[in-house]
């Protein structure tokens, strides 16, 4: 969906202001001057270009925009709230940089500092909601004023895209805060009460069903980044799973799978990549469409929300050392002699090693480790061998760096303008991909006791994981090689299929296997914390991560985590930002109610 930049005037704006408000901002301009020329008003937007521009602006809100980029709470990937807040990654950098993330990582979510990041996330998702509703209102205005401007089919398809995006943004708010207000295009006052999380699921499914009915099966105008009926249907299954409607989720996901619209990429290196000919591939269900060389003077339309998550100087990227994988996560990629997760076969010892896992340590690991984690001496895509000298503050952030978000040297996708352009590229940010869907389907199948069906889907993902591993990376051809290629001298890779027994005879084993697969497949993609919450195991996993699980404790590996707060019932949802609660007052009375415990 590179078309997000066709209307640069709308970039970073909430193009949602009523005609009255737009006019009011200029009504006294130079006292008695005539109405300014070149301004956006309800009248100038009330045409095809205005409607399409509003819709593009709604897509643009998926990542940080000019109006939501006060910090990195607006990142499309949720790396702060989904990865750093879990057992997948540390904040990284040093202790003084972006201090609000320290409180999020330490589960001190009620502090004013944590509140700044939470407020940015709230602003980002509701900016998206406002833009989608503005699109719908403007479309209906144009229909009334100029009925021939759009065909009936075009009206349905634009409505469908806006409804899908509205559901996505509300879903993001829902899995953060649970009890949220749900806004539709006819809402006249933003000071709307929140509804409980069960009621939110009903509203989400209502919008998604409407979107499914209106959207075409293929992207409008042939632009792959746009939502289709299959995008909305896949998302419907996601909502059903999060709402624990397991049987319904199975039905929905099976329909998507049977359609053949999506498929796994042939090898893992093709999933997170900046090569233009591999973007929006068959595994992409929905992604933020990054663009780094489009004329924006600061490359702000690139992977801006991820720009902190690159190795520090003296690496090529020069900054900033955030979101490094934890020792716990690196240990989780270890496998047993059968090529299956060591966490399942040796639950008491899989996490025992505190040592920097460097090249030449031939302990068998899942090959996805070196597509996910930069570690000492191992090729870093095609940038040469990774070095811990690239770490900003080794005692604080540990020896590793995230790798999926790194563009390839030979991709030509790196930005050429702006602050530290080496960090920015046009690598798309996956928000929902087919491997995620298959593992959600497997999860729902386990919970409905279709263990044989779950086994098939988990093993599809594992089969793809075993196709290619990180290679020497001197050029595009050698960056990904067979997992037993003789050029690999730094690791022993092994990944096997789950056998029928005990998978299909032991529901607990199957459940744990699916959960383990989600962690290694989707590591550091901003999903982990929300998975733990959906499974109802946040407290035992995170408290164990901090104080001792699988033979290792993170609060001894990273001393600052000794001050982390234990997970309790109040951590079920993030606290609603106090700023938003205060803004919700009507006649001195709050309309937004804070989540329990905060």
Band (pLDDT 50/70/90 cuts) for residue 45 is confident
Alpha-carbon torsion 239, 232, 83, 476, what sign?
positive
467 contacts: CB under 8 Å, gap ≥ 6: 266, 267, 268, 482, 483
CATH class for the region spanning 2-69+103-227+575-583 = mainly alpha
Mean pLDDT, range 21-29, rounded to an integer:
30
pLDDT of residue 38: 55
Q: Is the pLDDT of residue 462 over 60?
A: yes
Domains in the chain: boundaries = 2-69+103-227+575-583, 315-568
Give the pLDDT confidence of 317-374 residue by residue, as tens digits. Answer: 999 999 999 999 999 999 999 999 999 999 999 999 999 999 999 999 999 999 999 9
Residue scoring higher pLDDT (8 or 467):
467
Band (pLDDT 50/70/90 cuts) for residue 103 is very high
Mean pLDDT, range 292-311, rounded to an integer:
95
Average per-residue pLDDT for the chain = 93
Tokens of 194: 């929140």
Tokens of 251: 């039905």
Mean pLDDT, range 72-77, rounded to an integer:
96
Rounded Cα gap, residues 592 and 585, in angstroms: 8
Q: What is the CA radius of gyration of the chain?
A: 24
315-568 has the same fold as 2-69+103-227+575-583:
yes
pLDDT of residue 218: 98
Least confident of 28-32, 189-193, 267-271, 511-515: 28-32
Give percent of the chain above pLDDT 90: 91
Tokens of 302: 């690139």
DSSP 419-449: SSGGG-B---EEEEEHHHHHHHHHHHHHHTT
Q: What are phi and psi of 80, to 5 degrees?
A: -70, -50
Tokens of 219: 């992207």
* CA dist 28 → 25, 392, 479 (Å): 8, 52, 61
Whether 473 contacts 382, CB under 8 Å: yes
How deeply is 19 buried, as exposed, middle or buried, from its count of CB atoms within 10 A (0-12, 13-18, 19+)?
middle
Q: Is the pLDDT of residue 299 over 80?
A: yes
Rounded Cα gap, residues 263 and 433, in angstroms: 9
Give the pLDDT confidence of 498-507 residue by residue, as tens digits. Answer: 999 999 999 9
Mean pLDDT, range 562-583, rounded to an integer:
97
DSSP assignment letter at 82: I
Q: How far is CA 414 from the centre of its chain?
A: 21
Mean pLDDT, range 91-109, rounded to an integer:
97
Q: Which of 182, 120, 150 is nearest to 50 (CA)?
A: 150
**Strand, helix or coil at 24?**
helix
pLDDT of residue 70: 84
pLDDT of residue 20: 29
> In CATH, which of 3.90.1150.10, 1.25.40.390, 1.20.1050.10, 1.10.1240.10 is domain 315-568?
1.25.40.390
**Strand, helix or coil at 340?**
coil
pLDDT of residue 39: 57
Band (pLDDT 50/70/90 cuts) for residue 117 is very high
Beta strand extents in 346-461 (DSSP E only): 373-374, 401-402, 429-433
Give the pLDDT confidence of 129-170 residue by residue, as tens digits. Answer: 999 999 999 999 999 999 999 999 999 999 999 999 999 999
Band (pLDDT 50/70/90 cuts) for residue 110 is very high
pTM for this predicted structure: 0.93
Give the long-range contacts of residues 549-553, CB within 8 A, separation 24 or more.
549/328, 549/351, 550/328, 550/331, 550/343, 550/347, 550/348, 550/349, 550/350, 550/351, 550/352, 551/348, 551/349, 551/350, 551/351, 551/352, 552/327, 552/328, 552/331, 552/351, 552/352, 552/353, 552/354
Q: How much of the chain is helix, strand and coil, in % rounded to 5?
A: 45, 5, 45
pLDDT of residue 4: 34
Q: Is the pLDDT of residue 9 over 60?
A: no
Q: Is the pLDDT of residue 23 over 60?
A: no
């Amino acid at each position: 969906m590179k078309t997000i930049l066709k209307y640069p005037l709308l970039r970073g704006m909430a193009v949602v202001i009523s005609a009255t408000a737009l006019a009011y901002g200029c009504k006294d301009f130079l006292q008695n001057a005539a109405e300014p020329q070149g301004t956006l008003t309800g009248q100038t937007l009330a045409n095809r270009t205005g409607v399409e521009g509003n819709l593009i602006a709604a897509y643009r809100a998926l990542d940080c925009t000019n109006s939501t980029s006060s910090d990195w709470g607006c990142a499309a990937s949720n790396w702060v709230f989904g990865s750093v807040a879990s057992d997948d990654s540390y904040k990284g950098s040093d202790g003084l940089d972006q201090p609000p993330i320290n409180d999020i990582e330490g589960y001190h979510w009620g502090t004013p500092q944590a509140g700044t990041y939470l407020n940015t996330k709230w602003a980002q998702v509701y900016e998206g909601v406002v833009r989608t509703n503005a699109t719908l209102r403007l479309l209906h205005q144009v229909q009334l004023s100029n009925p021939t401007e759009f065909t009936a089919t075009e009206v349905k398809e634009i409505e469908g895209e806006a409804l899908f995006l509205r559901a996505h943004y509300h879903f993001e708010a829902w899995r953060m805060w649970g009890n949220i207000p749900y806004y539709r295009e006819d809402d006249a006052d933003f000071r709307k009460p929140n509804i409980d999380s069960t009621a939110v699921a009903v509203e989400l499914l209502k919008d998604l069903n409407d979107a499914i009915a209106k959207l075409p099966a293929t992207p409008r105008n042939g632009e792959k980044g746009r939502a289709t009926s299959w995008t909305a249907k896949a998302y419907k299954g996601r909502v059903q799973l999060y709402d624990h409607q397991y049987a319904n989720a199975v039905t929905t996901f099976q329909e998507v799978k049977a359609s053949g619209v999506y498929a796994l990429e042939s090898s893992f290196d093709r999933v997170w990549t900046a090569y233009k000919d591999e973007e929006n591939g068959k595994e992409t269900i929905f992604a933020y469409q990054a663009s780094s060389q489009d004329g924006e003077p600061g490359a702000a339309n690139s992977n801006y929300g991820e720009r902190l998550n690159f190795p520090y100087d003296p690496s090529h990227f020069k900054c900033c050392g955030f979101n490094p994988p934890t020792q716990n996560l690196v240990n989780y990629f270890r496998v047993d002699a059968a090529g299956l997760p060591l966490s399942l076969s040796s639950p008491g010892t899989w996490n025992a090693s505190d040592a920097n896992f460097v090249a030449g340590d031939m302990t068998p690991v899942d090959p996805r480790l070196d597509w996910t984690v930069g570690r000492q001496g191992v090729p870093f895509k095609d940038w040469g061998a990774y070095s811990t000298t690239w770490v900003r503050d080794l005692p604080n952030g540990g020896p590793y760096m995230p790798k999926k978000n790194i563009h390839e040297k030979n991709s030509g996708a790196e930005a050429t303008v702006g602050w530290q352009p080496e960090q920015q590229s046009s690598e798309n940010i996956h928000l929902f991909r087919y491997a995620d869907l298959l593992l959600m389907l497997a999860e729902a199948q386990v919970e409905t006791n279709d263990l044989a069906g779950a086994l098939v889907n988990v093993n599809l993902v594992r089969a793809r994981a075993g196709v290619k591993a990180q290679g020497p990376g001197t050029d595009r051809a050698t960056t990904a090689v067979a997992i037993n290629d003789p050029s690999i001298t730094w690791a022993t890779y092994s990944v096997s299929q789950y056998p029928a027994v005990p998978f299909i005879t032991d529901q607990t084993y199957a459940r744990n296997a699916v959960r383990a697969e989600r962690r290694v497949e989707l590591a550091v993609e901003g999903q982990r914390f929300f998975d733990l919450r959906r499974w109802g195991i946040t407290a035992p996993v995170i408290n164990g991560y901090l104080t001792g699980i699988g033979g290792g404790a993170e609060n001894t590996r990273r001393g600052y985590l000794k001050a982390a707060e234990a997970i309790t019932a109040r951590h079920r949802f993030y606290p609603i930002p106090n700023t938003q609660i205060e803004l919700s007052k009507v006649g001195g009375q709050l309309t937004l109610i804070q989540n329990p415990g905060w």
